[in-house]
Structure 1
Amino acid sequence: MRVPLVNWDSVCSPKEEGGSGIKNSFVWNVAAVGKLVWWVYCSPDKLWVQWINQVYLKKQSWHDYHPKGDVSWSWKNVCRAKDKLILGFSHGSWSLDSKGYSVGSGYDFLRTRSQVVPWHQFIWHSWTVPKHRFLGWLLVRKALQVKEKLVALGVCQDDLCLLCGRATETHEHLFEDCEYSKRILMGMANLCKVSLPGGDILQGFWQQRRTQVQKSVLMCAFTACFYFIWKQRHTVRCEQVLVHPDIVCKQVHQVVKMRLRVFSNRILGMDRVWLQSTELCK
């Protein structure tokens, strides 16, 4: 059985809380059934609710009702949803009127909450290629299967970096300190006419005093670098082929140039002048 890179609760958290924004289908299903719970509370004129009152509730309080053992599975499922949502109805999360409850609000009430993370804005940036931003998310969570982790799992015998062979392959080494990776990052920095910030490159650029468009361009460019570094690392592992970093940098450049064409209508005024001063679109 394969060990997941990120636990499911974290995957299903909102992006601003460090997750991927995917909905948890089990929680969503409970929230959807909660709509029926809410109808019993506040829509007595609905035919289905009248039938429920006649067959199951029989003038009992819905708030305190517990199903007997001989009722249907579907009705037990509605009652289980009520038990999970009852605090929301009890403490005013929803008003008992025609606009009080929605499946979305029920899901938000039931889901696991985490602290807001400072990196979600630049990791999930809309200008970056989707598969690049997903890898960036795994990177910032330190969830990639670098050799440091693989040795701990007993998958491989040594922990040396596959790109330079000089140090332990950790997240920090592979994407910040590795001489091979630095060649690619420096190549992109030269194309962008910028200096690489120390430490976390994406966060460093994001915190600089630049316009939003300039930050967006840099996120697109350097997230692409990380993706191609990881891709090249896999090429070495699977095919034992190490492409020259200058060639990889040219590949990154082509992808970034095509991506920026998608957003060319948003690059205006001084931002366009800045972009033309770089070599990204050449």
Structure 2
Amino acid sequence: MVSWEKVCSPKSEGGLGIRDSLAWNIAAIGKLVWWVYYNPDRLWVKWVNQVYLKGQNWKDYRPSGDLSWRWKSICKVKDKMDTGYLNGHWLLDTKGYTLRSGYELIRQKFQHVHWHKQIWNSWCIPKHQFIGWLIAREALMLKGRDNHTHLFQTCEYSRRLLDDLAKMLRVNFPVSNPLQGIAAGHYSPLKKGVILSAISVTFYHIWLQRKNARVDGVLLRPECVRELIKKDTKARVATRLSQGIATRDNLWLRSVNLIV
């Protein structure tokens, strides 16, 4: 399982890039805080100054207990975002306060991950991307003696499928970490995309076979799964190819039987 905070982080930080609605709402309220700092001529700001501030410094202002909860909420946001303001100026953007910069200040930050470009490659099928993301985060719900290291690295069944894939594509990559191996290789963008797509397909089918074995007690032979991997990869290549394909890429795709 992955926490909601991590799910809402950018893909470069290992998340899904989903926007955190609570943090976004706080950032939206931050716009009102910015108006009080920087737009004294707005009618709403003039009203705030007359009714609430009454000449007090906005940075140091604290609401009394008998004021409305809406106004107190705005003041709480002011305190929460205090590090972004300095002498009435917004530090995160030279043009002034924006929702995006306010959201960046509020949201929880995580370390950048090295695998996001391989997982979220445009060549990969979305459902394969999602399973690949869970694998990279070691967040698949596994039971019994299974763990991510065994299922995708040391398991003889998985290693055989990955070895077969390397032979099919005529490339070399470490079975223990194929994504990193391909990322470090010198390939054309098209070739790298096809290889990453094929690895993503393979991981998906390894997970699927493990699930079917647990739920239905059925496990396909590696030879059968290999044909399914090739079929899915070939179908993805067919949907992605354009007219302007380089000669060497064309020759490689023909040599590995991914195009006719």
| The two structures share one fold, judged by TM-score above 0.5 | yes
Query: Aligned residue for 1:122?
Result: 118
Over 3 Å counting, the alpha-carbon distance change for 1:239 and 1:231 in structure 2 is same
Q: Aligned match of 1:221 in 159, 176, 198?
A: 198
Match of 1:203 among 162, 167, 180: 180
Moved over 3 A (4+): 95-99
Matches within 5 A, 1:98-247: 99-147=95-143, 151=144, 159=145, 169-247=146-224
Q: CA deviation at 1:190?
A: 2.9
The alpha-carbon distance between structure 1 residues 136 and 38, as it changes in their structure 2 partners (threshold 3 A), is: same
What is the deviation of 1:83? 0.6
Q: Distance in 1 between matches of 2:93 and 2:162?
A: 57
> What is the match of residue 15 of structure 2?
19
Instruction: Select which of 230, 247, 250 maps to 1:272.
Output: 250
**Paired AA for residue 170 in structure 1:** N
Structure 1 contact 236–242 (Cα < 8 Å) conserved = yes
Name stretches of at least 5 consecutive residues in structure 2 with no aligned partner: none
Cα distance change on mapping 1:88 and 1:35 into 2, 3 Å: same
Q: Under a length normalisation based on structure 2, what TM-score does the superposition of the two structures give?
A: 0.91
What amino acid does structure 2 have at the position aligned with 1:49?
V
Give the secondary-structure state (helix, strand or coil) at the position aligned to 1:56: helix
Distance 1:212 1:270 in 2: 12
Q: Deviations over 1:123-161 (max 9, x none)?
A: 2212111121121121122122223xxx5xxxxxxx2xx
| Number of matched pairs | 259
Shift in Å, 1:97 = 10
Q: Is the 8 A contact 2:93 2:101 kept in 1?
A: no
Q: Tell me the percent identity.
A: 47
Equivalent residue in structure 1 for 2:39, among 40, 43, 46: 43
Aligned mate of 1:84, from 80, 85, 99: 80
Q: Supply the RMSD in Å over aligned alpha carbons.
A: 2.3
User: Which amino acid in structure 1 is aligned with residue 187 of structure 2?
Assistant: R
What's the counterpart of residue 29 of structure 1?
A: 25
Residues 34 and 14 of structure 1, relative CA distance in 2, 3 Å threshold:
same
Question: What's 1:156 paired with?
Answer: none
The reply to whether residue 281 of structure 1 matches residue 259 of structure 2 is yes
Gaps of 5+ in 1: 152-158, 160-168
| SS of match in other structure, 2:60 | coil
**In the alignment, is the contact (CA less than 8 A) between 2:84 and 2:92 conserved in 1?**
no
Query: In structure 2, what residue type is equivalent to 1:193?
Result: R
SS of structure 2 residue aligned to 1:100: coil
Deviation at 1:226, TM superposition (A): 0.3
